[in-house]
Homo-oligomer: A and B are copies of this chain.
Amino acid sequence: MADDSDSSRSNAHGEIMRATYRALRDHGYANLTIKRIAEEYGKSTAAVHYHYDTKDELLAAFLDYLLGRFKDTVHEVEIIDPERRLDSLLDQLLIEPNDHRDLLIAMLEMRSQAPYREAFGERFRGSDAYVRYILRTVIEQGVAAGAFDDVDVDHAARALMTVVVGAQTRDAVLNDDESDAFETARRLADEYVSAVLIDDDSGAN
């Protein structure tokens, strides 16, 4: 059956994910329905249910999709210098949301449901772990190259992750036009890198 081929399955997957993105952004998590996703998809709810049994299953796939997209952008970066690479990674993680602020709010709603929905909890823990892994890798390279001090790399990655999550959560509550959340976090991350990772007084040991 042509419709069951891998490529048509994967096209449908991508289209449903993009439809979910728009539906989440416009309606938030609490008011999201398969019907609304199907409307964005331009097909019937049955066509969505053919791929995903439940809304939560679809949303777990959506969290995988977002993490996959983030991984792609990370892998595209070709900067080798560790200090500049960390800077570029922090830019990616702490970019002002602007046009996807509503998606961030929906993500916070899903995050707050993680303790009640194991499939969500698993994904948020997975993305926390992945972002920390990438941060750790870049910082380790910097330590090896002598660009950063011989710091506790695992802690430094967790610390920067805390800054990222803090920005996302503060931004969701502050008013759009006066939110300092991402600007503050980006500056804090810079201060952390300059003052803690790079200590001009002592070389890496």
Contact = CB atoms under 8 A, between A and B. Distances in A.
Nearest to A105: B115
A39 interface: no
Given A112-B108, A170-B161, A196-B195, A187 B121 contact: no
Interface string A165-203: 111111011110000110011011001100110000100
A82 to B, nearest CB: 19
A159 interface: yes
With a 10 A CB-CB cut-off, give which of A159, A162, A163, A172 has the most chain B CB atoms: A162
A172 B28 contact: no
A105 B108 CA distance: 12
A159 B187 contact: yes
Given A158-B180, A166-B163, A125 B174 contact: yes
Interface string A108-132: 1101111110000100110010000
Interface residues of A, number: 44
A128 B121 CA distance: 26
A164 interface: yes
A183 B132 CA distance: 16
A155 interface: yes
A2 interface: no
Residue of A121, A174, A188, A195 ringed by the most chain B CB atoms within 10 A = A188
Interface in A43-102: none
A1 interface: no
Given A124-B173, A162-B170, 12 more contacts: A28-B116, A105-B112, A108-B169, A111-B112, A112-B172, A159-B185, A159-B187, A162-B181, A162-B184, A162-B188, A165-B170, A169-B169
